[in-house]
């Protein structure tokens, strides 16, 4: 059996009926199309899939490999090709985050300052909204004039509903922006045509701040602001269950990833135990 355009279309329609997000659907379909391109005129067999898995392992990090395998297995399950499923890689639980990948509070503040210096008020407020509430980029559309007035918003995505409280300081900033932009109702962050901003628009605008802010581009993307919120919240509150609710995670295991600290912080914590003595 070969992967056909019709098979991909049917799978995409299934994902839509399952109410997967646009980003998720785009990612799954891209993974399947890439596999199809790699196969060429060859049929999809277990041996071919194992060869493709080996290629992925050579080219990508384990987590990325597992992400692609999940897309492929979902496609196979939908088409009842159960015997072709391939196993994900076993990855040891990550104890520490990579310091060079995580955005620090100081770097975040430099990004805000850079946005201000470039007079990009919208981006300045978008970054504070994500970092101040922990919402996803896809949830920015729920930050409306009405939500700002009520100091809270209701997020309804993927069949999940949760309330997000908006800090008073953030509401003051957003209220001023709403008045200046003469936005009467609906989403606060919109394009000139009145459409919600895309993830790519925000990502590109944030990258443009890096040189001015003196921050490594590898650290600067919208989702890292959500990570910074999670780490900061957990460092103060130490309540991972409540944090999972705020972030909209179904599993605390997902939340744990957000709260991982770098190895240097852990080393300092161990040194404070006072259990190693240099002199007898």
Give 184-238 pLDDT, tens digit per residue.
999 999 888 888 888 889 999 999 999 999 999 999 999 999 999 999 998 888 8
CA atoms within 13 A on the CB side of 28: 23
Which one is the CATH code of 5-84: 1.10.3720.10, 1.10.1740.10, 1.10.150.130, 1.20.272.10?
1.10.150.130
Neighbours of 151 (CB within 10 A): 12
Asked if domains 5-84 and 105-265 share a fold, the reply is no
List active site positions.
Answer: 136, 158, 223, 226, 249, 258
Task: Give the whole-angstrom CA distance, residue 245 versus residue 237.
Answer: 14
Q: Which of 75, 72, 26, 30 is nearest to 53 (CA)?
A: 72
pTM for the structure as a whole? 0.68
Q: For the chain, which residues make up each domain, given as ranges?
A: 5-84, 105-265
pLDDT one-digit tens code per residue, 119-173? 999 999 999 999 999 999 989 999 999 999 999 999 987 678 899 999 999 999 9
Class of domain 105-265: mainly alpha
User: What span, in angstroms and rounded, lies between the C-alpha atoms of 214 and 80?
Assistant: 51
């Amino acid at each position: 059996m070969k992967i056909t355009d019709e098979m991909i279309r049917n799978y995409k329609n299934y994902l839509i009926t399952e109410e997967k997000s646009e980003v998720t659907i785009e990612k799954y379909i891209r993974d399947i199309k890439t596999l199809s391109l790699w196969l060429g005129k060859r049929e999809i067999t277990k041996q071919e899939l194992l060869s493709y898995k080996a290629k992925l392992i050579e080219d990508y990090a384990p987590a990325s490999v597992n992400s692609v395998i999940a897309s492929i297995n979902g496609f196979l399950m939908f088409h009842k090709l159960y015997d072709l499923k391939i196993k994900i890689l076993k990855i040891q639980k990550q104890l520490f985050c990579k310091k060079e990948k995580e955005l620090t509070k100081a770097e975040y503040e430099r990004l805000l300052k850079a946005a201000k210096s470039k007079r990009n008020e919208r981006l300045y407020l978008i970054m504070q909204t994500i970092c101040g509430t922990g919402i996803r980029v896809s949830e920015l559309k729920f930050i409306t004039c009405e939500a700002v007035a009520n100091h809270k918003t209701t997020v309804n995505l993927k069949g999940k509903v949760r309330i997000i409280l908006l800090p008073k300081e953030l509401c003051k900033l957003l209220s001023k922006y709403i008045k200046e932009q003469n936005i009467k109702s609906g989403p606060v962050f919109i394009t000139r045509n009145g459409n919600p901003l895309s993830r790519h628009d925000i990502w590109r605008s944030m990258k443009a701040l890096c040189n001015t802010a003196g921050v490594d581009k590898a650290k600067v993307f919208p989702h890292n602001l959500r990570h910074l919120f999670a780490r900061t919240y957990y460092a103060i509150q130490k309540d991972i269950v409540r944090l999972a609710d705020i972030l909209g995670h179904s599993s605390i295991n997902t939340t744990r990833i957000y709260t991982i600290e770098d190895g240097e912080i852990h080393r300092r914590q161990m040194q404070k135990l006072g259990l190693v003595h240099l002199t007898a």
